[in-house]
Amino acid sequence: MSDIDIRTEGRAGRITLNRPKALNALTYDMCLEIENALDAWRSEDSVALVLIDAAGDKAFCAGGDIAVMYETGTKGDYAYGQKFWRDEYRMNAKIAEFPKPVVSLMHGFTMGGGVGVGCHAAYRIVGESAQVAMPECGIGLVPDVGGSALLARASGRLGTYLGVTGARMGPGDALHAGFADHFVPEDTWQALAEDLVATGDPAAIARAAAPAPTPDSPLAARQARIDALFAGAALTEIAEALDADGSDLATDALKRMRRNSPLAMACAIEMQRRLGPAPTIRAALALEYRFTHRAPERSDFLEGIRAAIIDKDKSPRWRHADMDAVSREDVEAMLAPLGADELNLEEELT
């Protein structure tokens, strides 16, 4: 059985992620197949919209399949990871910039690479089981796949909070933070999909969403405190503010952050500062790629994978002992221009 089911039905081009036992984690080949489908449908008059969903009941897509990156990176082969990210980012940009409506149905876990597939769609639907997050700092990476743009656009300092803690968002929080547009109960998704396929008209989404009340957002309720606690311009300032506050919110945030790579968190904060409140997808991907291009060789990425995925000891040995140890120079080095290796979203598949 294929890892991805791509077909046309009625007026829709359909993409179904189909690795439910692996929580629909994206492989390199899946990224290429999504891109190829988008390229084909761009000028196909019979396709009025694109509908992206996933098999199984646990996840839309819980991230990228990073085991191969570890295998190649630990052998000193950094080219595989660089190519994976380069081609994945091009696919992310094509979803965001697609000239026809793209609709995503996101249930269960939508994390990392799944955000890159689902959360750049023009119409982003979540159901009651949705758990959306950008937990990359926990494996020594920064929020990527265009996720840094979503975080930067989030109101106040929510993006900083979500980026450095990796906190999960239920459906109400995903709507509040700008990772989703509509809440539609999952038991009506089949009927919605049939309507979209038959009509090719995204107006069906508003009709499906209308009867359901918007879920509560704990993030919205805590927005003012998050804005105050995460107002610092750098990781050390934020950590100091959290430590001094001592509230349940601050204590929980610090606990999460102390599990993560200090270098990755410091870079994630700086990336949002550079992007500003209204970044383009291309600006975000270009900045992300500066980090990820260097990540296998010069960051905590391989160690993060080892601790979380390979050995599963949950005891990563980060390059910096604590959050105070990351210097401005360390951050600048990871985000410096790449010269001839800068991300080029116009290159052809090879």
- Residue 146 sits in a domain whose CATH number is 3.90.226.10
Instruction: Tell whether 17 is covered by a domain.
Output: yes
Strand ranges inside the chain, DSSP E: 4-9, 12-17, 49-54, 59-61, 102-106, 109-111, 123-126, 131-133, 182-183
Instruction: Tell whether 13 is covered by a domain.
Output: yes
Instruction: Tell whether 348 is covered by a domain.
Output: no
> How many domains does the chain fold into?
1
Record the pTM.
Answer: 0.96
Place of tokens 């094509």: 94
For the record, the structure tokens of 300 come out as 């905590």
Instruction: Tell whether 346 is covered by a domain.
Output: no
Is the separation of the CB atoms in 287 and 303 below 8 Å? no
* Catalytic (active-site) positions: 64, 113, 136, 144
Instruction: Tell whether 349 is covered by a domain.
Output: no
Instruction: Tell whether 133 is covered by a domain.
Output: yes
Give me the tens of pLDDT residue by residue for the chain, a chain 350 residues long.
699 999 999 999 999 999 999 999 999 999 999 999 999 999 999 999 999 999 999 999 999 888 889 999 999 999 999 999 999 999 999 999 999 999 999 999 999 999 999 999 999 999 999 999 999 999 999 999 999 999 999 999 999 999 999 999 999 999 999 999 999 999 999 999 999 999 999 999 999 998 888 899 999 999 999 999 999 999 999 999 999 999 999 999 999 999 999 999 999 999 999 999 999 999 999 999 999 999 999 999 999 999 999 999 999 999 999 999 999 999 999 999 999 999 999 865 43
For the record, the structure tokens of 173 come out as 């929080």
Domain residues for the domain of 181 are 4-341
Instruction: Tell whether 347 is covered by a domain.
Output: no
- Name the residue type at position 187: D
Nearest by Cα to 226 from 252, 192, 201: 252
First to last CA, the chain: 25
